[in-house]
Structure 1
């Protein structure tokens, strides 16, 4: 095959969503309350579709099952990663995710935990997010939560475009109003909601909270992960290693000319955040543009990207 798998995203409406996904990427969003673009996904709750080549029209899950050689026979029952773009037009609920063992035990043997990371594509001036908490013990956490002393409990962090956060399972977190984020995560949709600002839906109902499960899985006290971003300057590109962690590696490619690459993992996921370029695989060349998402399968060993573009690249 030796060609990229270009993918058609799917979109999710959320009470905190907006219209930025259309304004920024010209995506065909279903409404002005669209919060999530599931860009590269084989998860049962939303599956991307291949748009080109041999597997055009197939879901990523179908390709994963039918053509394991494309993914280097990667040893996982499910496609391991999920790439999203999130439009936090309003504050997201304060939440936490379980690890694999807790998810298997409490949500079912087919469910996985959720470690994730965020690249801040854009945000309002003075934007912030909730990342961690100030409680030193489980008792203090529970007391502040029960008394509704959220400002005292939750840790707020200022953000700017280009910031990056690694969010292991067990981390209390929430994106806040006016933030556009690319998220790389385990392929999981398991979220435990801790606090939702007492919001109600169109019918006046508050969204469900999951306080006991959240208490079970939250890391107390909060632990910050020290990230050291490593830049590699090469002809035509600057490659920044954002994180190398248990479930994924994530890189930022700043392309400013023609750059040659060798794929050294099982397969790679690409999301073009800005600009335009061409990717050459063998004798074939493919145009890649802002908002495109694709996978380079295992049989692509060498490739060249030529143009001016910012691309987030991940691999399991």
Structure 2
């Protein structure tokens, strides 16, 4: 089976922007907040862009070739949803449920996610966590319009990894662009939307009671620590995050290098962040090569043992697997 690239799925969002449109060849006057580049979720299904499987959905691909494109997955579908996000304005303050709550109440999986920061303001921050000490204090803050008084913040800059486990209150804020890797899920509970109103004077729907169910009080979430796995003339490989749902590596590729799969028998996803190059591999005695440019995401089948990354000079990639 061959590595494949998908057509990006752009999503209009009121907080979105225009800077990433050229990267994804999007012609629209509306603000685009999200570009889903690998997705098996019905709300934004990926379709293979070219090659022998052109036109097939990711779901069709995993059903037809499960050994290659699904492997041992924690979900019956492809378990990772990968997006580029551009926040020209603040996102709502929100929270995602864990698997148990989402499956019981939404018929979907929970959402643990991580943000690889592509760009941020010099003084860039994100909302990460809160200081509510009980459900009662949370409900009182919502009723009195004081939610923002309880929000905690974390500084961010390009190259940072922010790990956001399910049940963490959070929000991307204006001026931030990220690559997001998450469980395949589309369940979000909005807690606060900065008092925004539409042209009719209406605010977006909030989900304060469900959020109260999944909020954790008095809990400090552990942050991931970057560790260097390899550093030589060809590759600097840093482990950014590992959790039950995914592992994330940053690859700074200086010269042609061979990479084994992250988890034998399961697919890799390679996402190009900066620079250009190629991904190359042997399939049944034939050489197959895909060009890489920023914004590309390649699903590498788990039936391969390894693949080669060949930069045009240097390139920065993010690799994730489960």
How would you bin the TM-score normalised by the shorter chain?
over 0.9
Aligned match of 1:130 in 122, 127, 131?
A: 127
Q: CA deviation at 1:52?
A: 2.5
Residues 4-25 of structure 1: CA distance to partner in whole angstroms, max 9, x if unpaired?
A: 11111100000101102125x2
Counterpart for residue 208 of structure 1: 205
Q: CA deviation at 1:152?
A: 2.1
CA contact under 8 A between 2:126 and 2:153: conserved in structure 1?
yes
Q: Give, in whole Å, the separation in 1 of the partners of 2:62 and 2:197.
A: 39
- Structure 1 window deviating more from structure 2 (172-181 vs 119-128): it is 119-128
Q: Give, in whole Å, the separation in 1 of the partners of 2:232 and 2:81.
A: 29
Q: Secondary structure at the match of 1:136?
A: coil
Q: Secondary structure at the match of 1:214?
A: helix
Counterpart for residue 53 of structure 2: 55
Counterpart for residue 218 of structure 1: 215
Q: Secondary structure at the match of 2:273?
A: strand
The answer to whether residue 151 in structure 2 is matched with residue 154 in structure 1 is: yes
Q: Secondary structure at the match of 2:29?
A: coil
CA contact under 8 A between 2:124 and 2:157: conserved in structure 1?
yes
Q: Secondary structure at the match of 2:20?
A: helix
Q: Give, in whole Å, the separation in 2 of the partners of 1:187 and 1:202.
A: 33
Q: Give, in whole Å, the separation in 1 of the partners of 2:216 and 2:156.
A: 22
Matched ranges for 1:12-51 at <5 A: 12-23=11-22, 25-51=23-49
Counterpart for residue 298 of structure 1: 302
**TM-score relative to the length of structure 1:** 0.94
Q: Secondary structure at the match of 1:84?
A: strand
**TM-score relative to the length of structure 2:** 0.93
Cα 1:178–1:264 shift into 2, 3 Å = closer
Q: Give, in whole Å, the separation in 1 of the partners of 2:158 and 2:24.
A: 20
Counterpart for residue 161 of structure 2: 164
Q: Give, in whole Å, the separation in 1 of the partners of 2:251 and 2:6.
A: 19
The answer to whether residue 77 in structure 2 is matched with residue 71 in structure 1 is: no
- Structure 1 window deviating more from structure 2 (166-175 vs 29-38): it is 29-38
Counterpart for residue 179 of structure 1: 176
Q: Which has the higher strand share?
A: 1
CA contact under 8 A between 1:234 and 1:259: conserved in structure 2?
no
Counterpart for residue 196 of structure 1: 193
Q: Secondary structure at the match of 1:225?
A: coil
CA contact under 8 A between 2:270 and 2:319: conserved in structure 1?
yes
Cα 1:227–1:264 shift into 2, 3 Å = closer
Q: CA deviation at 1:29?
A: 4.7
Alignment size in residue pairs: 312
User: Could you list the runs of 5+ residues in structure 2 that have no partner in the other structure?
Assistant: none
Q: Give, in whole Å, the separation in 1 of the partners of 2:301 and 2:72.
A: 11
Counterpart for residue 6 of structure 1: 5
CA contact under 8 A between 1:129 and 1:159: conserved in structure 2?
yes
Q: Compute the RMSD of aligned alpha carbons.
A: 1.5
CA contact under 8 A between 1:116 and 1:185: conserved in structure 2?
yes
Counterpart for residue 105 of structure 1: 104
